[in-house]
């Protein structure tokens, strides 16, 4: 009897002063199965059927650069279905458009319903201002097994105080993902 974590958290992070558009990301779950470091799903994200996915967006920025806050302008999960069956004398079959029940198609814009938290200063990096925005909803993983290219794209407005024009930036990441297994007994 194997019990699987009913939840998973996607935490994305960017620095207001970074030059690349790459988001740092981490998937975590109680049982450690979310972001595999070995085996069949290494390098990708393996969801379990029925899991609830929470999302938070973390930003830091140098106080010397004037960073004060950030605002999420848009946020979208994109899932590109992969082949699940191909061969001679069999029909070609793809995964459903998305592993998430809320998504009808391959793109799902997250509602802009985030709760913002100013995080305490890091003693090792006292010049950094750190802010976390937690999404007030979840993405629910369906019961259809499959494989997807998964992308997360976010546009943010970076604020640097009065008299400074806000900066619009786009950040993203795109690992592979899959769904398999069920909650409870396997």
Q: Where do the domains of the chain lie?
A: 7-182
Average pLDDT, the chain: 88
Pairing status of strand 176-182 against strand 45-49: parallel
User: DSSP letters along 55-102, please?
Assistant: EEEEEEEEGGGT--EEEEEEEEEEEEE-EEE--TTS--EE--S-SBTT
Pairing status of strand 52-62 against strand 7-15: parallel
Residue 70 pLDDT more than 50? yes
How many CB atoms are located within 10 Å of the residue 100 CB? Answer: 21
Query: What is the maximal distance between C-alpha atoms in the chain?
Result: 66
Length of the chain measured in residues? 186
- The two three-digit tokens of residue 145, written as one number: 């097994």
pTM: 0.85
Residues 7-62 have pLDDT tens digits of: 889 999 999 999 999 999 998 876 655 555 566 777 778 888 899 999 999 999 99
């Amino acid at each position: 009897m194997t019990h699987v974590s009913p939840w998973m958290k996607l935490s994305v992070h960017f620095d207001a002063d970074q030059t690349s558009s790459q988001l740092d990301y981490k998937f975590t779950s109680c049982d450690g199965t979310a972001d595999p470091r070995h085996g069949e799903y290494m390098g990708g994200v393996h969801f379990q059927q029925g899991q609830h996915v929470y999302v938070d967006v973390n930003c830091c920025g140098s106080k010397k650069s004037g960073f004060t806050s950030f605002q999420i302008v848009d946020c979208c999960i994109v899932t590109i279905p992969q082949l699940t069956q191909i061969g001679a004398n069999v029909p070609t079959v793809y995964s459903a458009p998305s592993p998430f029940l809320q998504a009808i198609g391959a793109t799902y814009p997250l509602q802009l319903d985030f709760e913002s938290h100013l995080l305490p200063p890091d003693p090792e990096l006292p010049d950094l201002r750190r802010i976390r925005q937690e999404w007030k909803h979840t993405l629910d993983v369906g019961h259809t097994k499959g494989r997807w290219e998964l992308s997360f794209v976010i546009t943010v407005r970076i604020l640097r105080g009065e008299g400074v024009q806000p900066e619009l930036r786009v950040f993203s990441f795109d690992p592979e993902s899959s769904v398999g297994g069920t909650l409870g007994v396997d």
